[in-house]
A and B are shown apart, each in its own frame.
Chain A
Amino acid sequence: MADFLTFLFKGISVGSLYALIALGYTMVYGILQFINFAHSDVFALGAFFSWRFAVAYHLMHPTPIQAAGLLLLSMAACALTGLLIEWLAYRPLRQAPRLNVLITAIGVSLFLENAGQLVWGKSVVQFPTMTEHSIVLGGVHIRLVEVVAVGAAFALMLGLQWLVYRTKIGRGMRAVSVDHNIAGLMGVPVDQIISLTFVIGSALAGAGGLLVGLTYGQIKQPADASWIIYGLKAFVAAVIGGIGNLPGAMLGGLLLGIAEQFVAGYVSTTFRDAIAFALLIVILLVRPSGILGKNVVEKV
């Protein structure tokens, strides 16, 4: 039982971070129907931005308030990065075939990885530590920093839900995701909505970067394969939940995180990374549109 709870909580901890990153993939896909391969690099940059801010402001042992400040700084820096990427790399290709955009996304990804390596070097970086404390829940020790990270991830996801489903801008985003032209005819400024989508998705990746750093204590260089694997799993989570669907991305992320921990715990850690892709294959065979995939009502 204690094992079960340990794996479950660890799964939620990892899964909520997958979910945070998956949202960025799924939002961009929902609006532009392409996979933004550079998203995992924005996530890696988020970790490095927060580390740099922590060093610059002497916040290597941040209090909760200071950590919240770091979170906002990292989100803002990544939002700006996302805005620039969309504006410089993707906007000029708005009328181009989707394949061109996809290839561009890979180019942006490689550029960010190498630029990050150039700026921050290749060595492993010691991340700020918030707290070493643990809490005991159901007889299981849980690191407090993971509880905080899960709480922050869920708060951000709830905020996004509110924005998309309860505000006028969110209504505009949903309209653009259905049809750019018709959204324009409703008076929705389509280009601004697309920029905003990148800003929000990248800000969430920035938050993910900080939370991952806090959770693991150290981060590898921006071009390290671990970032790509992390991003790839988040992407798989988005597909499992139903790409283009926000609740789907969150559900997919959590499911994937929990599945990984159970497989690692009960079967073998060797299979931990394999489970993501095994799940992907099963979903693509059984339910290609994902668990909560778009079920568009069509009537002739």
Chain B
Amino acid sequence: MALLEVSGLDVHYGAIHALRGVSISVEKGQIVCLVGSNGAGKSTTLRALSGLVKPTRGTIVFDGQSLVGLKPHQVVRRGIAHAPEGRGIFPNLSVRDNLELGAYVRSDKAGIAADLERQLERFPILKERATQMAGTLSGGEQQMLAVARALMARPRLLLLDEPSLGLAPQIVQSIFRIIQEINGEGVTILLVEQNAHMALSIAQHGYVLESGEIKMSDAAKTLAASDEVRKAYLGIGE
């Protein structure tokens, strides 16, 4: 059985039917990406997984246990960390405080200190700015902080929402390299991206979401090569 098994998920925002029967499966150790245009329901899917929005129908099973009805902090306790859309850092808290908040559900002080050190090694720029207010960081640095902070929870599954949004190509490259590195350390990743090209290039499996419905599901390589995806999401036409 897959690590994460989502099936028939429906989400409504008032009268808006944001997700229609979304089914996703994420195998342990994989990078799975969810691509699609703005407003397709990518972020909503992640928000439903994290307990920020309540699905009206469907099941979410993580490691054999249902997540439906859990509050966000309970989902984190189960081993899922979510680096949200727009990064969601705390601007008036220091970089270090932000990172320590990521470890809120843990109580192993030595382990937390060691992980903090590891993340600061991985992102030297954060080490340099550890005592600075997080709001003074640049966009790319804030994204790195968001990823590092999510890792502080020692998640088994990491949900990443648009990590490339608004960043210069070079920084996007390094973020994606880091995502692969994290995956190599054994963290399963569900990646939501508008940048389908980049996302499909590092994922093993991909889903294409359109108007709240899964339109395609295939190996990432196959999707990247398909005419439909190339035209609609990769900007490569005839």
Contacts and interface: CB of A to CB of B under 8 A. Distances in A.
B226 interface: no
Contact of B88 (A182, A187, A296, A297): A182
Given A186-B76, A187-B153, A189-B73, A171 B91 contact: no
A182 B85 CA distance: 10
B93 A185 contact: no
A168 interface: yes
A183 B72 CA distance: 9
B236 to A, nearest CB: 31
A294 B133 CA distance: 13
Interface string A179-202: 101111111111100000000000
A178 B77 CA distance: 21
Interface residues of B, number: 30
Nearest to B152: A186
Given A178-B92, A182-B88, A187 B76 contact: yes
A274 to B, nearest CB: 35
Interface in A138-184: 168, 171-172, 174-175, 178-179, 181-184
Nearest to A179: B88
B198 interface: no
B93 A174 contact: yes
B101 A188 contact: yes
Interface residues of A, number: 23
B3 interface: no
A195 B21 CA distance: 36
B100 interface: yes
A172 B88 contact: no
A297 B149 contact: no
Contacts of A132: none
A105 B50 CA distance: 32
A171 B135 contact: no
Contacts of B73: 184, 186-190
Interface centre among B101, B135, B136 (most CB of A within 10 A): B101
B163 interface: no
A185 B72 contact: yes
A299 interface: yes
B84 A182 contact: yes
Contact of B91 (A181, A184, A189, A296): A296
Interface string B67-81: 000011100110001
B136 A171 contact: no
A167 B76 CA distance: 20
Contact of A187 (B90, B104, B138, B139): B104
Interface in B25-81: 50-52, 71-73, 76-77, 81
Contact of B104 (A181, A186, A296): A186
A186 B149 contact: yes
Nearest to B92: A296
A294 B93 CA distance: 12
B146 to A, nearest CB: 10
A191 B73 CA distance: 10
B5 interface: no
Contact of A297 (B81, B92, B102, B153): B92
Contacts of A179: 88, 90
A186 B52 CA distance: 12
A192 B105 CA distance: 14
Interface string A256-300: 000000000000000000000000000000000000001011110
10 contacts: A172-B101, A174-B90, A175-B93, A178-B90, A181-B72, A187-B72, A190-B73, A191-B71, A296-B135, A298-B135
Given A297-B133, A299-B136, A299-B137, A186 B101 contact: yes
A95 to B, nearest CB: 12
Given A175-B93, A184-B73, A186-B76, A297 B104 contact: no
Given A168-B104, A296-B92, A181 B135 contact: no
